[in-house]
Structure 1
Amino acid sequence: MVVENPGSLEGIRVLDLTSVVMGPLATAILGDLGADVITVESRRGDINRFMGAGPHPHLSGVSLNLLRNKRNLDLDLKSETGREVLLRLAATCDVFVTNIRPGALARLGAAYSDIALVRPDVIYCQAHGWPSDSDRADEPAYDDIIQAASGLADLAVRAGGEAPGLMPTIVADKVSGLTIVYAVLAALFHRERTGQGQRIEVPMVDVVSAFLLVEHGAGAIPQPPAAPPGYKRILTPERRPQRTRDGWINVLPYDREHYDTLFTVGGRPDLVGDPRYATGRDRIANSDFLYGRLREIIADRTTAEWLEICNRHSIPAAAIGRLEDLVDALPEAEHPVAGRYKVIPPPIRFGRTPASVRRPAPLIGEHNREVLAEIGFTDEEITKLTEQGVLREGRRRHG
């Protein structure tokens, strides 16, 4: 399913100094939108290349989609020559994205001030765990750490658990990656109007805390607080999928008429018109009771019966999807090295500038010669850089 389609960011070049998932997800989305993404990768290979099983030693199931629409340069940034090559490349790029910590960036000569010298209108996005002006600026931070520090892990206790817990998905990485994308797009729009570049900072802990407090700030937001933080309907331990006679479903009655219907159909006429669900505030305050009763009545019918009832009465409901079913539904493409694989399609549907998968995930250093030739290096110069160890000869598609 690799197709040719320019996308809305055609003509924008992104220099990608990111690793693991947060940054690579952001640059993959920019690539899906049409940007020319050039990734500078450590010669030992990014960890996402080894996240789970895969068909090639340097291409995991994760990296096959996470690294798509990118060209790859294997450059030794710890060498003076390597840094000179990086700056020469940066001068041709509209956007510079990195999740390297501030201290290390400064030592590499790749801080905003360094890049802006060669590209004054650059959009420079620096994403890392902690704000650069905090005393934790140079501390490492991965998804689990940010879930803990942002308050996300605390939700497990507030939802009735015995201890803090981590969500079984790397939500901090992915929310931060999406935030990088909208920040870069906003800065590009500003540059389009004014000609000005700028530095953007995306601290993960701030991103996830803001994400969390949208609903869980709740009654604590007014000052003085009207209630403790936490949105009660979301935190009730009764808020979970319901078991049917033959499987699982999630039914979410959202107004008084929904509850009237469900209690009538479910054989609980004594609850029809109950004042505990008369208003939106009542339904939130009595979430424990209402969701508990709902779970009881749903156990008496099959999943298909409840889906038909809910569809007929416009009550939100869905059967529980399995990961295997989601993967099975994906389209397939042919990777030149890895063979057949499942493509996670871009989730946005544009009317005029479709997002698309134009390039398969590259191997480490695959585009060394191609990229450096584009910015003026001769074949002899590239060969010399390879002999000096500044570049590692890119792995070939058939090897």
Structure 2
Amino acid sequence: MGPLEGIKVIDLTSVVMGPYATQFLAEFGADVIKVEAPAGDLVRAIGPARHPGMGPMYLNSNRGKRSITLDLKTPEGRELILDLCRDADVLAYNVRPAAMARLGLSFEVLAGVNPRLIYAGLYGYGQSGPYAARPAYDDLIQGGATIPHLFRLSGGGEPRYVPSAVGDRVVGLAGLAGILAALVARGRTGRGQRVDIPMFETMVQFVLSDHLGGLTYDPPLDGGGYARQLAANRRPLKTADGYICALVYTDEHWRRFLTALGEEGKLSDPRFAGYAGRSVNIDHVYGWMMEVFLTRSSADWQALFEKIDVPVMQMHDFESILSDPHLTAVDFFARVEHPTEGVIRVMRNPVSLSDTPPDLPRPAPRQGEHSREVLREAGLSEARIEDLFAKQVVRGL
């Protein structure tokens, strides 16, 4: 019994941002019904797969859900969505709101069907600004939220994107927070509401919470940016035989670190002596560290940092992370038997609840795997279900 047991979610989202948010809902125990267009979720085709439509990105963002394939562009398909929403708690979508309105599935329409429904939209831009009608993708939002600019400032090279769908996943988590907040509010008021989670505004807040800097003030105190994060030499430290990640951060960290190296004299060097001095001279400080770390192996540095209790972490690659001793001890990576894909590796939900802990949910569904099951639960007769399949309004296994 997860914490969201009994919550029904109609999931119209696709690709990464929306499915990542609704997967958390499913892992917390909600009944998430993934509604896919006949062409299926685009992300099904990304990456290597044992069978078509069951790629790894799809498998890792759609656990715990049931799948129904439905043509929303038909009048009957739209009516089915309205039927599914009559007793639902949440409807989530990640197309532009104008597209939902064209489908006849606006907030006003759905609230008329079910006043308790949480109507959650994850999309590009807030609807009161000039970008409202623009399409949005992770790359575009990273650029608009200054992330490539950070790379240019910190490395002096060409701007680039983070090699991860960081915008999609951060906004997905913000969407999860908004949905859960709306469910709590409904518990007090009995009313559902519209929840809007725009990518652009969410990511600008995410990035500038670190980097607005002196621009926080009026008039500005500087041109923005957090110097330590933008330091050109803030990177994994090259050792005699590889790389390691270490953060000598507080004054006490520096005292223990420099003492262990026999470099106590630097404690009186204004470039090292206090946080303010290190911040102003961060490129010099990190440059010195890069030279020092070349003198010992990664294992030696890790042992030293653990001995003096200064933060350190192995720099993993995609394969070494799978055997990380901590993740092994907490059973983070689990092997499960997928009904069609065989043995697959899944990642457990990292959130722990003492009374209602999330468990490994059902594996990500095949497209339309639960179409008949969902329609039966909605009260449709077998004859009506067969008619919808014959008209290809509904598709499935």
Compare 52-61 and 19-28 and name the one that shifted more: 52-61
Matched with 1:390 is 393
Structure 1 segment 210-229 matched on structure 2, within 5 A: 210-229=205-224
Q: Secondary structure at the match of 1:138?
A: coil
> 2:274 matched to 1:274?
no
Residues 54-88 of structure 1, C-alpha deviation per residue, up to 9 Å, x if partnerless?
Answer: 12101001111211110111111000011011100
Residues 145-200 of structure 1, C-alpha deviation per residue, up to 9 Å, x if partnerless?
Answer: 10011111211112132222101111000000000000000110000111121101
Note the C-alpha offset of 1:269.
Answer: 4.8
CA contact (8 A) 2:266 2:272 kept: no
**Following superposition, which runs of at least 4 residues in structure 1 exceed 6 angstroms of deviation?**
none
Note the C-alpha offset of 1:336.
Answer: 0.3
Q: Secondary structure at the match of 2:68?
A: strand
CA contact (8 A) 1:369 1:382 kept: yes
> 2:327 matched to 1:333?
no
Distance in 1 between residues matched to 2:378 and 2:318, nearest whole Å: 43
Gaps of 5+ in 1: 1-5
CA contact (8 A) 1:96 1:125 kept: yes
**Residue in structure 2 matching 1:360, options 357, 360, 363:** 363
Distance in 2 between residues matched to 1:270 and 1:110, nearest whole Å: 69
CA contact (8 A) 2:91 2:120 kept: yes
Residues 242-279 of structure 1, C-alpha deviation per residue, up to 9 Å, x if partnerless?
Answer: 11111110111112232233334335454233222333
Compare 118-127 and 319-328 and name the one that shifted more: 319-328
CA contact (8 A) 1:128 1:203 kept: yes
> 2:247 matched to 1:244?
no
Q: Secondary structure at the match of 2:115?
A: coil
**Residue in structure 1 matching 2:288, options 293, 304, 313:** 293
Compare 296-305 and 318-327 and name the one that shifted more: 318-327
Q: Secondary structure at the match of 2:364?
A: coil
Distance in 2 between residues matched to 1:386 and 1:108, nearest whole Å: 21
Residues 291-342 of structure 1, C-alpha deviation per residue, up to 9 Å, x if partnerless?
Answer: 1111111111111111111111111111111111224552200000010100
Task: Give the TM-score, by structure 1 length.
Answer: 0.95
Matched with 1:349 is 352
Matched with 2:151 is 156
Compare 156-165 and 174-183 and name the one that shifted more: 156-165
Q: 1:79 is aligned with what amino acid? A: T
Residues 228-250 of structure 1, C-alpha deviation per residue, up to 9 Å, x if partnerless?
Answer: 11000000111001111111101
Q: Secondary structure at the match of 1:249?
A: strand
Distance in 1 between residues matched to 2:294 and 2:346, nearest whole Å: 37
> 2:257 matched to 1:262?
yes
Matched with 2:381 is 378
Matched with 1:133 is 128
Matched with 2:110 is 115
CA contact (8 A) 2:257 2:308 kept: no
Matched with 2:57 is 62
CA contact (8 A) 1:250 1:317 kept: yes
CA contact (8 A) 1:267 1:297 kept: no
Structure 1 segment 190-209 matched on structure 2, within 5 A: 190-209=185-204
Higher RCO (Cα < 8 Å, 6 or more apart): 1
Distance in 1 between residues matched to 2:202 and 2:189, nearest whole Å: 27
Q: Secondary structure at the match of 1:343?
A: strand
Distance in 2 between residues matched to 1:304 and 1:247, nearest whole Å: 10
Distance in 1 between residues matched to 2:298 and 2:145, nearest whole Å: 37
Q: Secondary structure at the match of 1:230?
A: coil
Q: 1:22 is aligned with what amino acid? A: M
Compare 135-144 and 123-132 and name the one that shifted more: 135-144
CA contact (8 A) 2:40 2:69 kept: no
| Root mean square deviation of aligned Cα | 1.3
CA contact (8 A) 2:138 2:166 kept: yes
Q: Secondary structure at the match of 2:119?
A: strand
CA contact (8 A) 1:26 1:177 kept: yes
Task: Give the TM-score, by structure 2 length.
Answer: 0.95
Note the C-alpha offset of 1:103.
Answer: 1.7
Matched with 2:77 is 82
Matched with 1:176 is 171
CA contact (8 A) 1:327 1:342 kept: no
Distance in 1 between residues matched to 2:151 and 2:52, nearest whole Å: 37
Identity %: 40
Matched with 1:3 is none
- In 2 relative to 1, CA 162–247 (structure 1 residues): closer, same or farther, beyond 3 Å? closer
Q: Secondary structure at the match of 2:347?
A: coil
CA contact (8 A) 1:23 1:97 kept: yes
Structure 1 segment 308-319 matched on structure 2, within 5 A: 308-319=303-314
CA contact (8 A) 2:54 2:366 kept: yes
Q: Secondary structure at the match of 2:2?
A: coil
Q: 2:358 is aligned with what amino acid? A: A
Gaps of 5+ in 2: none
